[in-house]
Amino acid sequence: MSLIYAEPHLVRAHLLLCAGRQFSEGDVQHWWHPPTGRGVRTHCSDDFLWLPLATCRYVGSTGDTGILDEPVPFIKGRLVNPDEDSYYDLPVRSGETASLYDHCVRAIRRGFSFGKHGLPLIGSGDWNDGMNRVGQEGKGESVWLAFFMCDVLTRFAGIARMRSDLDFSKQCENEVNRLRRSIEQHGWDGQWYLRAFFDNGTPIGSAKSAECRIDSIAQSWAVLSGMGDADHSRMAMESVDKYLVRRDDALIQLLDPPFNSPNDKSNPNPGYIKGYVPGVRENGGQYTHGAIWAAMAFAALGDSRRAWELLTMINPIHHGNTPEAIEKYKVEPYVMAADVYAVKPHTGRGGWTWYTGSAAWMYRLIVESLLGLKLETDRLSFAPCLPAHWEGFTVHYRFRETIYHIRVIQKQGAEKEGGKYFTTTIAVDGVAQPGKAIVLVDDGQEHGVEIVVESGILERRKTKSR
């Protein structure tokens, strides 16, 4: 998804490649080895939903609706048995082919499996596949997945409407409304959102939990999906700042406290996440995907100070600017690391570098969440979230064979009532433009763009409760 700006044709090719690793039942290989395609089939509950999400991003950014009609074959293999987490095998072509749109629909329908709280079943793990035993009996549920699914369904409902598939569009919208109610009814814990429920209904990520009292990604995606209650979402991110952002160690934990060792039988076993040393990788260390999502969430809330502060903490170059820092970090400070350890004597040590997933999200954090660029076919809009002391920035943007030299100027506005506000004026080659976007034209020329952003944090008017 990060390649939309630089190499959209690679996004297109990869979407079709990934759709070709989908089983007829709608689930996908958790991973596979090219060129043969041998890989793993699991009960994981989020894998297949990334295909429709990435498809929505590609179509919305490029305007290439033709990809939705591209025929892609399915693969075929035996189903994962109920008592299995996964199996490794070489699937074969199923003989069935469908459009990319139908692949996405089939993936979404696969996700319509819910538990007693009305939340999606977690299966053998969601984004955190280390929680592979939370739903081993087929009853465990994921609060994070509920937020993520809402985001996918909201975006895909627009694609379905565009194709006049009004029944499916309405079904997506109905599920979003139902999920939002279930999240607030069962997922809110008082100061933050729960992470999941075990098969027996025991919550993960509760203030009452002995392990994993708070998990960052449920809080971040409450904001990023736009599906969390506004007040709850802000409170949840304050809790992330309070309990998971470790400024002295320059890291952002995924969850806290970590799960104890596998030998500790005092609490339900979430899975192989307990095989990691407490404070390492997904088990309470910084997992950089999650840390970046937290920074993106603060930016989405308009909190530029904390968004940029977290970016500085995540940025590997700041872990290598002194000999002492390098001695602690121990890995390359010029590429993204998957994780940073949060346990003595290895606190601050990086792990699994050259991690493309974290690098891609880091790129999107900077370009989209902070500098504020958003591409919609041939329109580029701007909603920057800048440090207060910045006067602005310049970006040279290539649209096919045309270069736009874009200068953004930030001015601090006067205080007004009502909350955060932005006023933007745009001129292209000296000509004022309506709205907050420029129309991109591929004429092979160079164009100058000046954008003036007036920003301020405004006091809210006090109103009587009703």
> Cα separation of 352 and 464, whole Å?
53
Query: β-strand 402-412 against 446-456: which pairing, if any?
Result: parallel
The SS3 assignment for 232 reads helix
Which residues contact residue 453 at a Cβ distance below 8 angstroms, ignoring those fewer than 6 apart? 382, 384, 386, 392, 408, 409, 410, 411, 422, 423, 424
Which residues contact residue 102 at a Cβ distance below 8 angstroms, ignoring those fewer than 6 apart? none
CB atoms within 10 A of CB 461: 9
Query: β-strand 141-142 against 203-204: which pairing, if any?
Result: unpaired
Query: Could you read off the pLDDT tens digit of each residue along the chain, which spans 466 residues?
Result: 999 999 999 999 999 999 999 999 999 999 999 999 999 999 999 999 999 999 999 999 999 999 999 999 999 999 999 889 899 999 999 999 999 999 999 999 999 999 999 999 999 999 999 999 999 999 999 999 999 999 999 999 999 999 999 999 999 999 999 999 999 999 999 999 999 999 999 999 999 999 999 999 999 999 999 999 999 999 999 999 999 999 999 999 999 999 986 666 667 899 999 999 999 999 999 999 999 999 999 999 999 999 999 999 999 999 999 999 999 999 999 999 999 999 999 999 999 999 999 999 999 999 999 999 999 999 999 999 999 899 999 999 999 999 999 999 998 764 444 445 567 899 999 999 988 899 999 999 999 999 999 876 544 444 333 3
What is the DSSP code (8-state) at residue 46? S
Give the pLDDT confidence score for residue 462 in this predicted structure. Answer: 40
Q: Which contiguous run of DSSP H or E holds residue 306?
A: helix 304-314
Do the beta carbons of residue 210 and residue 270 sit within 8 Å? no
CB atoms within 10 A of CB 210: 12
SS (H, E, C) 321-389: CCHHHHHHHCCCCCCCEEEECCCCCCCCCEEEECCHHHHHHHHHHHHHHHCCEEEECCEEEECCCCCCC
Q: Which of 368, 373, 376, 398 is nearest to 61 (CA)?
A: 376
